Structure 1
Amino acid sequence: MSDEMHHFSMGIWLLGLAFAVAVSGSVIGLACTRHGAAATHPAARLRWLFMGALSIGGVGIWLMHFIAMLGFAVPGSPIRYSLTWTIISALMSVTAVFVGLLIVGTEFRWSRLLAAGFLVGIAVNIMHYTGMRALRFQGEINYNMYFVALSLVIAVVAGTAALWFTMVMESTVMRLIAGVIMGVAVVGMHYTGMAAVEVVHDTSAPAPVGLEVFAFLFPVFVIGLLAMAVPIVAVLTVPDREIARMDSAADDLAFEAREFATRD
């Protein structure tokens, strides 16, 4: 057995793609979170928060992780992935984010914000290190705990900041900035977590068994983009529905006024 450095290939474009996916999922997810906070009906609020958790946890965190892992390589060993651990990591990520968004509540409170930010940050870390459990190659992985701790701090601080921007700021531009902050948190945490990786390559170990990353990532990427279509359409159309509801209410008032005037 020997200690070997892993390395990332495919250049800066892969980092750019991972960042774009993280920001897109975060922006849409935080917009859903804002609508969830404004919803008056509990069922509607839960739908918004679920879409938010799916966008942030499923796309912004989970899908970003496996896109970024396209550039991961261990010289001399093929890379495979466990489907079971891949699915578990997705479920854990979405669930943890959903609980975090529930904790935020409908009104701004520091105690709720800090608890939710901590949980969302933990969700980012859980997804990353659970996703790493899915990794299969000839050898094993050890972690530098300093970088592990740093990755946790990055995710918690930036996740809390993103939720704060979302709940407090009324400006659309500031909410977009919140999505960028969350995207930076996810990508920054990922690569900090990867800096913690110490690969022990065992050339005598049997060849890894599992899926090649391209074999499952392409359909997952397509499914992820299709899943994003639902919250995107919801976010884009909700103002129209609100306007239509206001117009309908105005028509009802006008009708009642005419009826009242006729009776007089």
Structure 2
Amino acid sequence: MHHLEPSYNFFLVALSFCVSVFGSYTGILLVKAAQSSITNKAAWIMAAAVALGGGAIWTMHFIGMLAYDMGMPVNYDPIITFASLAIAVIVVGAGLFFVGGNKNSIARLLIAGVITGLGVASMHYSGMYAMNMAANMTYNPALFALSIVIALVAATAALWLAFNLEGNTKMLFAAVVMGVAVCGMHYVGMAAMNMDSMDHTAHIEEGIKPLTLGLFIFCFSMLLLVLCLIVGMAQLSRKMYEAMEAEDEAEASSHSEQFGRLDLSAQKN
């Protein structure tokens, strides 16, 4: 056995960050759509969970894994890989629903942040466990613990930002902050991993090839995020238009009342 020193493809590292920011922005937009909706809040929150958990976190994770060159053949167990997707979406959805019940409650925010953060960390390390390769994997305890702390803080901050920032510029800023936090957790978790190679003739279980998995995840996620973004923007635009119409009607009604009073006054005179 000998210790492996993997390297990174920095183009894919940058791409993973961009995907995380895009998924975060889409998720925040869908949360705003949920807040503006009266009858379909649950559906919008579920869509936001898919955008944040599936796009900003899970897709970022696997693009980040593609960026990690281990210098040996690697494939992924499909069941564990897609189970990690389910973990990401479910815990983010649970956090959004819990905080959405009362966005001003600090207790709710902290509880949801812990649940979501631990879920995100579970997604990351289960995704790592899905790798089949001729190497033994161990973790540096200090960096492992740091990655968990980052996940908890990032999840709490993400939930607060999703519900409390208004305006497109602030939402974009929040998405960048989320992207930094998600990537920070991922790459600290990767730094925590130590790999010692085994006999390269050792049998490796069958699984999905990294490039195949990466292309599928990237293309499917981008398509889904773009569709979610379009639908979310349409919902917010419709609500904005309805609010403007209601304001115009209220203003017209106010003017009518004023003219009515003037007519009555004129008749009395």
Specify the TM-score bucket, using the shorter chain as the normaliser. 0.7 to 0.9
Tell me the distance in 2 between the aligned counterparts of 1:72 and 1:169. Answer: 34
The structure 2 residue matched to 1:84, chosen from 79, 85, 89, is 79
**Cα displacement string for residues 77-97 of structure 1 (whole angstroms, at most 9, x for unaligned residues):** 311111111110111111111
Divergent runs of 4+, >6 A = 250-255
Instruction: Provide the residue aligned with 2:147 in structure 1.
Output: 151
Instruction: Look up the equivalent residue of 1:100 and give its one-letter code.
Output: G
List aligned pairs for 1:1-264, cutoff 5 A. 2-10=1-9, 12-41=10-39, 44-75=40-71, 77-105=72-100, 106-203=102-199, 204-246=201-243, 249=246
% identical aligned pairs: 33
Q: How many residues align?
A: 254
Change (3 A) 1:133 1:239: same
Instruction: Look up the equivalent residue of 1:90 and give its one-letter code.
Output: L
Tell me the distance in 2 between the aligned counterparts of 1:211 and 1:34. Answer: 37
Select the structure of larger CA radius of gyration: 2
Question: Cα distance, 1:7 vs. partner?
Answer: 0.8
The answer as to whether partners of 1:163 and 1:178 remain within 8 angstroms in 2 is no
TM-score when normalising by structure 1: 0.87
Out of 180-189 and 228-237, give the one that drifted further. Answer: 228-237
1:205 aligned counterpart, secondary structure: coil
Tell me the distance in 2 between the aligned counterparts of 1:151 and 1:247. Answer: 46
Question: Cα distance, 1:169 vs. partner?
Answer: 3.0
**Cα displacement string for residues 12-58 of structure 1 (whole angstroms, at most 9, x for unaligned residues):** 211110100011111111221233234332xx111111111111110
The answer as to whether partners of 1:81 and 1:136 remain within 8 angstroms in 2 is yes
Tell me the distance in 2 between the aligned counterparts of 1:34 and 1:242. Answer: 11
